[in-house]
Amino acid sequence: MPAPVSAPPPPGSVEFDEPSGTVVLRTAASCYVLRVDRAEGTVRHVHWGAPVPPADAAALPAWAGHDDSFEGRLDGVEEYPVEGGARFGVPALQVRFADGSGSLEPRVEDVRITDGDHLVVALRDRYRPLAWELHYRVPPGGDVLERWTEFTHTAGPDAEPVHLTRCSSAHWPLPQRPGWRLSCVHGGWSAENRLERTALAVGETTLTSRRGHTGHHAGPWVVLDAGHADEERGEVWATALAAGGSWRLTVQRTAAQRAGVVASEGHEGAEIPLAPGHRHVTPVSVAVYTPGGFGGVSRAFHGHVRRHVLPHPEELRPVLYNSWEATSFEVCEENQLALARRAASLGVELFVVDDGWFGARDDDRAGLGDWTPHRRRFPRGLRPLADEVHRLGMSFGLWVEPEMVNADSDLFRAHPDWVLHLPDRTATELRHQLVLDFSRPEVTDWAYGWLHALVADNGVDFLKWDFNRSFTEAGGHGGGPVRQVYIEHARGVHRLLDRLRAAFPALRVEACAGGGGRTDLAVLGRTDQVWTSDNTDAVDRLGIQHGFSQVYPAGVMSAWVTDSPNPLTGRSVPLAFRFHSAMAGVLGIGGDLTRWTEAEIEEAARLVQRYKDIRPLVQHGRQDRLLAPGEGLLTAVQYTGAGAGRTAVLVWRSSTSFGPAHPPLRLRGLDPAARYRDEDTGAEWSGATLMGYGLPVPALADGDCASALAVLQRTA
Ligand code: GLA
């Protein structure tokens, strides 16, 4: 008779085996094991990867380092390495006590599990007044783990503050593998999200922002594999940090082929003073392990963002129109009305007036900070335009840049001390503007006041919240540590967004920082979509969107169809290709519609209709990157609805070249036993054929910039 098998523990759970000190966190397809040793005062890592049964987990040896006089025997093996003792690796926690010392000696105080999915390991220094708690949570329904850390100054009120100089959300240890490969994005303004996949150097690799915002130059996430994973297969580990202002991810690879990621809010030198009795809570760091390759990692993040991050994941984002590329700073009631009428006729659902509607904003030299309608351009205020937009059946949106001020503004003349500055340093202007200090409550109260009035008085349904320069000379007011403001400014913005949304539950927000300079999980927790890039060239966008999709879902990726030739690149691209490129995310239109021909308007209206038809697949479905841009002639992305009932495939050929016919597109995520009908051609295939042999490439026009959309519906 076979031995009875006990039921496996449910995913989304935390188990604690008290005698061995072993904790097991389980997601749907992974397991994370750690060992608490009270006598030693350590929390060591045991395993992160494929599931192991509880009995094995308790018996597995905890990680151990070398024990010689030149090695730290705890290096790379601890869940949360501190600076202190024989530790020589990247610390997750560094402090400075009042006497200038910083060495820590941890002691384990407590291990507790709450709600079945939340583990807390409480530690404190053996002699000094600092306690820290490691928090782990398994959010239900996915393959993602969350970690964050909370610090408390435990001394009485007369004690000196403790300065936290590196207070990470987590250290994510990775197992020993013969080679490690790092995937991340880099770029710049109008060139965000260039995906790079390179061997991870032995040593320390740091991705960071020292800019006061998330940055175009790197994203706060990393993906790691042992060198063999591809889109569909292979073990992959990844982590993303829900932080904006300044941040640092350091990936360490040791000569022993171990790796680990330390994820922290704040860049080097950023200090947080912790007063007696006070608590500091880090942002959340999320992490994924999957055997399902890079596509598996992306889908795990996409699912997590939809289930646990976005304020309204159940909604479909509207097709929007934005005035920026059409009218630039020249917005006025008449030209916006003309655009709005055309936009409505196309099926646009949200009309957004971009920069230029306020103060003395005739160009970028003046007006930021004076958030009342421009007197000459909107002599009747904004309400008549908003009312007409509503009457046309669209929602009404406005561009704002609350954190910025031009020196040439009434606000700056009244409150020159509100900007980030250092008393004896030149205040560098970038785009002729300075940054207001949103770590100060009087400044965010002012912003709340005008934003509240603007939204309430004009029936505003949507804000595009911009941020158009990085910090310079960012000083603390009142003599605080100067670099704390990089963290506290971003937190001030988050609090303000939370407050505004609480006051206007129907208000929706797009995050923007000169395009994609503010794309992170923290901002996605209080906005609904992200302006992906100021680069609206439909070909360039394919690469930018490919990088974006590694972590963030298509349902937050705002993409506009603009004029051809593109104003930034000068490239001419057919309307259908421009649409197909933007239809891969949240479709918007940003061209000068008053100059589009009737034929273009008709074609655009048809494509908007088509987008609305596939929108649930794109915005809420499963995304498979079939062919990455730059790897061959074609780029292709597939979006599949729940239950694999319907699937949409977008294909682009940016530039043509003589050669053999394109091989079929091997689809993914379908039911092999089901049959699927191409809604345009009527051709019918089984799921098995579409995934095994592939979908014959849909007809593409000759020449460069050809594209197609195929939609297949399950028939049986
Ligand atoms: C930033 C945004 C643009 C536009 C301009 C307006 O660059 O990314 O979309 O709103 O500001 O000044």
The pLDDT-based confidence of 478 (bands split at 50, 70, 90) is low
Q: For residue range 495-511, list pLDDT tens digits in order.
A: 999 999 999 999 999 99
Q: What average pLDDT does range 654-660 have in this prediction?
A: 93
Given a cut of 50, is residue 3 above it in pLDDT?
Answer: no
Q: Where are the beta strands (DSSP E) in 175-305?
A: 181-188, 191-199, 203-209, 221-225, 236-241, 247-253, 259-265, 272-274, 279-281, 285-290
Given a cut of 90, is residue 352 above it in pLDDT?
Answer: yes
Q: Does domain 88-104+118-308 match CATH 1.10.287.610?
A: no
The alpha carbon of 299 and the centre of ligand 1 are apart by a number of angstroms equal to 30
Least confident piece of the model among 247-251, 254-258, 294-298, 605-609: 254-258
Q: What is the pLDDT of residue 141?
A: 87
- 355 in ligand 1 pocket by Cβ < 6 Å? yes
Q: How far apart are CA 307 and CA 296, in angstroms?
A: 16
- 324 in ligand 1 pocket by Cβ < 6 Å? yes
The alpha carbon of 402 and the centre of ligand 1 are apart by a number of angstroms equal to 13
**Which residue in 92, 498, 499 sits closest to 266, CA to CA?**
92
Q: How far apart are CA 283 and CA 238, in angstroms?
A: 17
Percent of the chain with pLDDT over 90: 91
Whether the upstream peptide bond of residue 129 has omega within 30° of 0, thus cis, is: no
Q: What average pLDDT does range 13-36 have in this prediction?
A: 95
What DSSP character marks residue 384?
H
Q: What is the pLDDT of residue 591?
A: 98
Q: What average pLDDT does range 621-634 have in this prediction?
A: 96
The CATH code of domain 627-714 reads 2.60.40.1180
Which of 354, 363, 568 to probe ligand 1 with, by most ligand atoms within 8 A of CB? Answer: 354
Q: What is the pLDDT of residue 2?
A: 39
- 83 in ligand 1 pocket by Cβ < 6 Å? no
The CATH code of domain 320-534 reads 3.20.20.70
The pLDDT-based confidence of 479 (bands split at 50, 70, 90) is low
User: Closest ligand 1 atom, CA of 534?
Assistant: 8
Nearest CA to ligand 1 atom 4: 324
The answer to whether 665 touches 626, Cβ cutoff 8 Å, is yes
Q: What average pLDDT does range 187-196 have in this prediction?
A: 98
Q: What is the pLDDT of residue 9?
A: 62
The alpha carbon of 672 and the centre of ligand 1 are apart by a number of angstroms equal to 45
Angstrom CA distances, 535 to 175, 192, 301, 575, stand at 39, 9, 25, 16
The alpha carbon of 501 and the centre of ligand 1 are apart by a number of angstroms equal to 22
Nearest CA to ligand 1 atom 7: 514
Q: What average pLDDT does range 457-475 have in this prediction?
A: 97
Q: What is the pLDDT of residue 156?
A: 95
Among 466, 528, 563, 624, the active-site one is: 466
The answer to whether 591 touches 603, Cβ cutoff 8 Å, is no
Q: What average pLDDT does range 552-564 have in this prediction?
A: 98
**Which residue in 523, 498, 499, 521 sits closest to 510, CA to CA?**
523
Q: How far apart are CA 564 and CA 576, in angstroms?
A: 11
Q: Where are the beta strands (DSSP E) in 532-598?
A: 557-561, 586-589
- 515 in ligand 1 pocket by Cβ < 6 Å? yes
Q: What is the pLDDT of residue 258?
A: 87
Instruction: Name residue, tokens 């070249």.
Output: 657
DSSP string, 663-701: PPB---S--TTSEEEETTT--EEEHHHHHHT-BPPPP--
Among 225, 437, 534, 540, the active-site one is: 534
- 514 in ligand 1 pocket by Cβ < 6 Å? yes
Q: How far apart are CA 201 and CA 205, in angstroms?
A: 7
Buried b (16+ CB within 10 A) or exposed e, 512-521: bbbbbbbbbb
Q: What average pLDDT does range 319-325 have in this prediction?
A: 98
The alpha carbon of 361 and the centre of ligand 1 are apart by a number of angstroms equal to 13
Angstrom CA distances, 168 to 24, 319, 454, stand at 22, 39, 38
CA angle 530, 532, 536 (to 5 degrees): 140
The answer to whether 419 touches 378, Cβ cutoff 8 Å, is no
Radius of gyration (C-alpha) of the chain in whole angstroms? 27
For residue 455, the SS3 value is helix
Spatial neighbors of 402 by CB under 8 A, at least 6 apart, are: 371, 436, 447, 451, 465, 496
Give bridge partners of residue 292 from the DSSP assignment.
234
**Which residue in 219, 278, 279, 277 sits closest to 248, CA to CA?**
219
Helix or strand holding residue 465 (H, E) = strand 462-465
- 271 in ligand 1 pocket by Cβ < 6 Å? no
The pLDDT-based confidence of 477 (bands split at 50, 70, 90) is low
Long-range contacts of 33-41 (CB under 8 A, 24+ apart): 33/57, 33/60, 34/62, 34/79, 35/62, 36/108, 36/111, 36/121, 37/62, 37/108, 38/108, 41/105, 41/106, 41/107, 41/108, 41/123, 41/126
User: Closest ligand 1 atom, CA of 514?
Assistant: 8
For residue 213, the SS3 value is coil
Buried b (16+ CB within 10 A) or exposed e, 678-707: bbeeeeebbbebbbeebbbbbebeeebbbb
Buried b (16+ CB within 10 A) or exposed e, 378-413: beeebeebbebbeebebbbbbbbbbbbbbbbbebbe
Active site residue 437: no
The pLDDT-based confidence of 7 (bands split at 50, 70, 90) is low
- 468 in ligand 1 pocket by Cβ < 6 Å? yes
3-state secondary structure 139-163: CCCCCEEEEEEEEEECCCCCCCCEE
User: Closest ligand 1 atom, CA of 515?
Assistant: 8
Active site residue 534: yes
The alpha carbon of 466 and the centre of ligand 1 are apart by a number of angstroms equal to 7
Q: For residue range 574-616, list pLDDT tens digits in order.
A: 999 999 999 999 999 999 999 999 999 999 999 999 999 999 9
Nearest CA to ligand 1 atom 6: 355
CA angle 639, 645, 646 (to 5 degrees): 40
Which of 399, 400, 433, 589 to probe ligand 1 with, by most ligand atoms within 8 A of CB? Answer: 399
A 10 A CB-CB count for 585 gives: 27
Nearest CA to ligand 1 atom 2: 514
Q: What is the mean pLDDT of the chain?
A: 96
Nearest CA to ligand 1 atom 8: 514
The pLDDT-based confidence of 68 (bands split at 50, 70, 90) is confident
Q: How far apart are CA 565 and CA 220, in angstroms?
A: 33
User: Closest ligand 1 atom, CA of 354?
Assistant: 10
- 466 in ligand 1 pocket by Cβ < 6 Å? yes
The alpha carbon of 355 and the centre of ligand 1 are apart by a number of angstroms equal to 7
Given a cut of 90, is residue 695 above it in pLDDT?
Answer: yes
Given a cut of 70, is residue 83 above it in pLDDT?
Answer: yes
Q: How far apart are CA 80 and CA 263, in angstroms?
A: 11
- 404 in ligand 1 pocket by Cβ < 6 Å? no
Phi-psi region of 660 (alpha: psi -120 to 50; beta: other; left: phi over 0): beta
A 10 A CB-CB count for 657 gives: 7
The pLDDT-based confidence of 28 (bands split at 50, 70, 90) is confident
For residue 192, the SS3 value is strand
Given a cut of 90, is residue 111 above it in pLDDT?
Answer: yes
The alpha carbon of 492 and the centre of ligand 1 are apart by a number of angstroms equal to 22
The pLDDT-based confidence of 4 (bands split at 50, 70, 90) is very low
- 185 in ligand 1 pocket by Cβ < 6 Å? no
Nearest CA to ligand 1 atom 11: 514
Q: What is the pLDDT of residue 196?
A: 97
Which of 327, 466, 532, 536 to probe ligand 1 with, by most ligand atoms within 8 A of CB? Answer: 466
The pLDDT-based confidence of 630 (bands split at 50, 70, 90) is very high
The pLDDT-based confidence of 142 (bands split at 50, 70, 90) is confident
Domain ranges of the chain: 88-104+118-308, 320-534, 627-714
- 510 in ligand 1 pocket by Cβ < 6 Å? no
Instruction: Name residue, tokens 């500055």.
Output: 421
Of the CA atoms within 13 Å of residue 430, those in its CB half-sphere come to 11
A 10 A CB-CB count for 244 gives: 32
